[in-house]
Amino acid sequence: MAKYSVECPACNKSYTVQLYGPGRDREYKLNNWDWTCDACREKQRQEENAKAAAENAAAGLPALTGTEKQIAWAETLRVERLGVIRKALAGEYDYSYMSAFWGNSIGYTDEKCLQPEDPRTAHAIEVLRRQASARWWIDQRETKVGIVLTALFASHPPVKEDPPEIREAKEEVLAEATVRPEQPKTETVAEIRVGEKSVEVSFPEKREDFWQIIKKGLGYTWSGSSWKRSLGVTHGTPADRAAEAGNKLLAAGFIIRILDPAIRQAAIDATFEPEHTRWISKIIAGEYPGWFSITWKEDSRSLYDAARKLKRSKYSKPAVVVPAEQFEAVLDFAGMYGFRLSPGAQALVDMARTAKESALVAAPVPAKKEALPEPGSKPACLNVPENVEVDDEFKD
C-alpha cells in the first residue's frame, strides 16, 4: 500500500489516493485510471441530468414526478430509451440499436424490428411518452425497450373488426391491385401510392435489396412511416414515377400493389415515360446564383469532361455550373448530349439572349493618338502673347 498524489483532469486539483498491489499495477492505475475528483463527478452527473431534462421538455414530454434524485436519474433513462425508439422508427437497425432494443439474447431478425404501421406501436409509444412517474422509469431500467413496448401492446383497445361483407370487399380490392412476380423474394407487399406531387411506398420489412432499389436507385427517403419521394418539375409525373418504381420492384422479385389500374398496367408493361436524368437548371441561391447548373445521374467521366470544356464552367458539387452569358454554348451542349432545360433554365436563356441582343452594336472608330514631340525633332514654338499681365492673385 502506498499513497500517491493524483490530479483531477477536470479541475486540476491534486489529491491523495491509496493504491494497493504490485508496483507495476499501481503504475498502470496512476497512468490510466480516470482520476476525476468526487466533486467534479457529481457536477458532471448533474449537468447530464439537466441536459436530459431540457431535451425531454423540448420534446414535449410531461415533467416527471418523484423525489429530486429519482427525477434526475429518470430523466436520463427516458432520453436514452426514447432515443432508441426514435432510431427504430427511422429504420436504423444496427447492432447497437438491436441490443438496446432487445438485448443480446434475441436474434437479429426482421420480425423483431419495430413495426411503425402497427396501430399498437403508436399506442405503446404514446403510453410510454405519457409515463411521468420517475419510479416507473427506474423500475423498468433493466427491461429492454422492445420488451417494454410489447408489454404495452396489451393495453391497446382491441382493433375493431370489420363486418364480413366489408372485410371481403377489402380483401377483393387489395387482391385485385396486387401483382406477384413469378418467384417472389418475400410475401411482404410493396404498396405504391401516388400523391399530387409525390410517390410513397410502404414496405414493412427491412431488406437490403429493397433499399438498393428504392433508396439508392430511385432516391426515396424514409418519412417515418413509409418511403417517400417528393417530385419537382424535372422528375416527370407522379404516375410515371409510381409505375417506374413498381416496374423495378416487380422485376427484382417483389410483390407490388397499386390501386390505380392504369398505373399498375404501366408498371407491368413498362409503358411509363422513363425518368429523364440529364438536366440543365437555373441556380437560385448559393455561390453561383443566376448560373446554369448541369447535372446527370450516370457516373460519366466523359460527360464531365465535355461540360467542363464550356467556357468559364466550374465544378460545384454535385453540378457543373456555367454563367448565363455562355447560353449559346450551353444550348449546343444540351442538344448534343440530350440534356433538357428546366423552366428556370429556359427563362435564363431568354434573359441572356435579350441582354445580348439589346446590347449596342458598333464598329468603334480607332482612337487618335496624342501627338507628342520626339527627341531630335524641332520643338513646336510656344505662342507667347506680347503683353503678359499676371493677375494679382497669382503673384507671389
Where on the chain is the footprint of Zn ion (CB under 5 A)?
8, 10-11, 37, 40
Q: How far is the CB of 9 from Zn ion (least distance, A)?
A: 8
Distance CA(193)–CA(241), nearest Å, equals 10
Query: 48 or 205: whose CB is closer to Zn ion?
Result: 48
Q: How far is the CB of 142 from Zn ion (least distance, A)?
A: 31
Q: How far is the CB of 35 from Zn ion (least distance, A)?
A: 9
Distance CA(88)–CA(98), nearest Å, equals 9
Query: 37 or 348: whose CB is closer to Zn ion?
Result: 37
Q: How far is the CB of 45 from Zn ion (least distance, A)?
A: 13
Q: How far is the CB of 20 from Zn ion (least distance, A)?
A: 23
Query: 12 or 377: whose CB is closer to Zn ion?
Result: 12
Query: 13 or 86: whose CB is closer to Zn ion?
Result: 13
CA dihedral 126, 128, 129, 131 (to 10 degrees): 120
Query: 34 or 94: whose CB is closer to Zn ion?
Result: 34
Q: What angle do CA 24, 29, 35 make, to 5 degrees?
A: 160
Placement of cell 493524483 in the chain: 6
Query: 11 or 151: whose CB is closer to Zn ion?
Result: 11
Distance CA(162)–CA(31), nearest Å, equals 69
Task: List alpha helices for 212-363, DSSP H.
Answer: 238-251, 261-269, 301-308, 327-337, 343-358
19: CB partners within 8 A, 6+ apart: 1, 2, 4, 25, 26, 29, 30
Q: How far is the CB of 12 from Zn ion (least distance, A)?
A: 7
Q: How far is the CB of 94 from Zn ion (least distance, A)?
A: 35
Query: 37 or 231: whose CB is closer to Zn ion?
Result: 37
Query: 39 or 233: whose CB is closer to Zn ion?
Result: 39
256: CB partners within 8 A, 6+ apart: 178, 179, 189, 190, 191, 192, 246, 249, 250, 267
DSSP state of 216: I
E strand spans, the chain: 2-7, 14-19, 178-179, 189-194, 198-202, 221-222, 227-230, 255-257, 279-282, 291-295, 314-316, 319-323, 340-341
Q: How far is the CB of 29 from Zn ion (least distance, A)?
A: 18
Query: 48 or 118: whose CB is closer to Zn ion?
Result: 48
Q: How far is the CB of 68 from Zn ion (least distance, A)?
A: 23
DSSP-based helix, strand, coil % in the chain, nearest 5: 45, 15, 40
Query: 44 or 115: whose CB is closer to Zn ion?
Result: 44
Q: How far is the CB of 10 from Zn ion (least distance, A)?
A: 4
Amino acid at 359: A
Residues 267/242, Cβ–Cβ less than 8 Å: yes
Distance CA(204)–CA(118), nearest Å, equals 10
User: Over the range 310-349, which residues count as b (16 or more CB within 10 Å of their CB) and which as e?
Assistant: beebeeeeebbbbbbebbebbbebbeeeebebbebbeebb
Distance CA(205)–CA(288), nearest Å, equals 42
